[in-house]
Amino acid sequence: MCVGPSVPTALAQVRLPALGDAAGEEFSVGTERALGLQIMREIRRDPAYLDDPPLLDYVQHIWRPLVASARQRGEITPETAQQLAWEVFLVRDRSVNAFALPGGYVGVHLGLIAITASGDELAAVLAHELSHVTQRHIARSIVNTQRTTLLSLAGMILGVLAASRAGSSDGVQAAVVGSQAAAVQNQLNYSRDMEREADRVGFGVLTDAGYSPAGMAAMFEKLENANRLNDSGAYPYLRSHPLTVERISEARGRMALSSAAPPADPLEHVLMGARSRVLMDISADGLQRQQQRVANALAPGAQPMTPNERLGALYAGALATLLLGDTAAAETAVNRALELLRARTPAVPAAERSLRELQVQVLLQRGDVAGAMKLLDAPALQPASRWTLLLRGQAALALWNQRPEQAAACLAAAAPRPGPSAPGCDDPLSGYKALQASNEAALSWVSLHPNDPLMWSLLAQGEEAMGQRLRAMRAQAESRAALGDINGAVDRLRAAQALARTGGANDFIEASVVDARLRQLEATRREIAAEMRNGR
């Protein structure tokens, strides 16, 4: 796990040798980047890879200060800052786990978010994993596999991850046949010295980022109890990051000497933990089980709950019920949660935003699109987040589909050779105006965040609805590229190119963009093939 400096030198200064020529040259930052990109291309296609906007926004909100802290401390060098991704992603899995991958990627299982009680606890784990990357522990662990091509090395790491997630010891053994694959397994099971170094560096990153070391102590207690009592396979983090008495004592020593920030209000984390528990299993049976647990917890005579626990239960119940299609019951739960939140002091704006966003989902599913649009303009949801932009896009498409004749008339009136003006086109709640604004907002977003598949997909739907087929096809291609499907992206761009050449789209600027992007992705595909083939 995670913990670091501010303790006597004998405990704190556990330093591994510098990478030096062997690991530094044989497994360079460029090699690590190429390997990470290949692994992530495959992971993004896995059904367990999860892009849940509110949950991912929350984890990224915790992650970004840690990366900034590591950069400020010099743990992230100018070279690694530029070449590695420094990206956190979610895995739909109930086990308690997080893992670092080559290239600056850190995966977080939903089970870890669900079991942590505060953002400080989650930040402690992320700081530890981030330190495995900044200290180049992955390069040190797999340097002996330098004769293996990146393609086979990526495949072995993916095999180990998949087998570990499935909880199959046979699968892990099958993935680790041979000395080179064993080295890959060792990459996920860090040495004691690496763990201690990640503890020390991670502690400094955590506290410099403004998080409370109390979260680290609480996380150690959870893992220590699990290590002693749990042998069900629910804590794979303990297999790849084994606790030792020495590590725990060093962590507590650093804690005692630290004067870092006090714990933050955990309410937002409580709601996101509730969301994680629901999204772990979205089958009908899984949602019904979650719904029943919540009902039992809220029933008269149940064990008393704190206000935060009750808010978390109401959020989980509303989300599970909404996913089962019962919008009336979901709306009741959200309204009860908002009433409870209003009575709570001090206010927690992030928690209100989470509940309001869930309320927008309820309104959209109920068909009250105007109500959803009005709520999206409320102060609690300003400034717009990625999730509210996506929700607004869904609402705009719904408005367009509610009155397609009016939308078509507005579109015709705005054409280069306009037809007769149509009434209501300038109304913000008209399908035309709302979708036009949504498309512009999505385009602005992807110009700053070009690797966002959900936003590209939303833009593709909006452009298609407005008759911009070439732009829609390019957006579809970008969505595929963002998911790592380079072949799929190339296919969509070629189709867009054919459309432009046959006169099916009269947009010369967009046609030029398509041509340039196609050349770029084809070059990327050749580079990937060469890197994987040569292992460079």
pLDDT in tens, the chain (536 residues): 433 332 222 223 333 334 333 445 567 888 888 888 888 988 998 889 999 999 999 999 999 999 999 999 999 999 999 999 999 999 999 999 999 998 999 999 999 999 999 999 999 999 999 999 999 887 777 765 555 566 666 776 777 677 666 554 444 333 333 434 444 455 455 777 888 899 899 999 999 999 988 888 888 888 888 777 655 668 888 877 877 677 777 777 777 667 667 778 899 999 999 999 999 999 999 999 999 999 999 999 899 999 999 999 999 999 999 999 999 999 999 999 999 999 988 889 999 999 999 999 999 999 999 999 999 999 999 999 999 999 999 999 999 999 888 888 888 887 665 555 566 788 888 889 999 999 999 999 999 999 999 999 999 999 999 999 999 999 999 999 999 899 999 999 999 999 998 876 677 889 999 999 999 999 988 887 776 566 54
Please say whether the beta carbons of 279 and 92 come within 8 A: yes
Among the listed residues 199, 208, 368, 485, the single catalytic one is: 199
Residue 103 inside a domain? The answer is: yes
Number of domains making up the chain: 3
| 58 φ, ψ (degrees, to nearest 5) | -65, -45
Residue 404 pLDDT: 85
Query: Are 362 and 492 in a shared domain?
Result: no
Residue 226 pLDDT: 79
Residue 503 inside a domain? The answer is: yes
Query: Are 202 and 312 in a shared domain?
Result: no
Residue 178 pLDDT: 42
Query: Are 349 and 425 in a shared domain?
Result: no
Query: Are 248 and 283 in a shared domain?
Result: no
Residue 156 inside a domain? The answer is: no
Query: Are 500 and 435 in a shared domain?
Result: yes
| CA Rg value for the chain | 25
E strand or H helix that includes residue 50: strand 49-50
Cα–Cα distance list, 66 to 58, 119, 120, 272 (Å): 13, 12, 11, 19
Residue 533 pLDDT: 66
Domain boundary among 347, 366, 385: 366
Residue 113 inside a domain? The answer is: yes
Query: Are 252 and 323 in a shared domain?
Result: no
515 assigned to active site: no
Domain boundary among 233, 257, 281: 257
Query: Are 119 and 53 in a shared domain?
Result: yes
How many angstroms from the chain centroid is the CA of residue 339? 30
The DSSP symbol for 144 reads G
- Residue 279: name the closest of 90, 408, 482 by CA: 90
Residue 371 inside a domain? The answer is: no
The residues pairing with 368 across neighbouring beta strands, listed in sequence order, are none
Residue 496 pLDDT: 95
Domain boundary among 257, 284, 314: 257
- Residue 121: name the closest of 270, 245, 229 by CA: 270
Among the listed residues 32, 75, 121, 129, the single catalytic one is: 129
- Residue 77: name the closest of 154, 136, 164 by CA: 136
Residue 123 pLDDT: 96
Q: Which domain holds residue 445?
A: 398-534
Burial of 70 from C-beta contacts in 10 A (0-12 / 13-18 / 19+): buried
Residue 157 inside a domain? The answer is: no
Query: Are 95 and 206 in a shared domain?
Result: yes
Task: Spell 269-308 as b/e; 16+ CB within 10 A means b.
Answer: bbbbbbbbbbbbeeeeebbeebbeebeebeeeeeeeeeeb
Query: Are 253 and 294 in a shared domain?
Result: no
Task: Spell 395-429 as b/e; 16+ CB within 10 A means b.
Answer: bbbbbbeeeeebbebbbeeeeeeeeeebeebeeee
The residues pairing with 105 across neighbouring beta strands, listed in sequence order, are 87, 101
Query: Are 245 and 283 in a shared domain?
Result: no
Residue 223 pLDDT: 84
Query: Are 139 and 67 in a shared domain?
Result: yes
Residue 163 pLDDT: 64
Please say whether the beta carbons of 60 and 88 come within 8 A: yes
Residue 168 pLDDT: 46
Query: Are 32 and 80 in a shared domain?
Result: yes
The residues pairing with 109 across neighbouring beta strands, listed in sequence order, are 91
491 assigned to active site: no
SS3 assignment for 70-127: HHHHCCCCHHHHHHCCCEEEEECCCCCCEEEECCCEEEEEHHHHHHCCCHHHHHHHHH
**ω before 418 within 30° of 0 (cis)?**
no
Residue 459 inside a domain? The answer is: yes
SS3 assignment for 323-371: HCCCHHHHHHHHHHHHHHHHCCCCCCHHHHHHHHHHHHHHHHHHCCHHH
Strand 105-109 relative to strand 49-50, pairing: unpaired
Residue 161 inside a domain? The answer is: no
pTM: 0.87
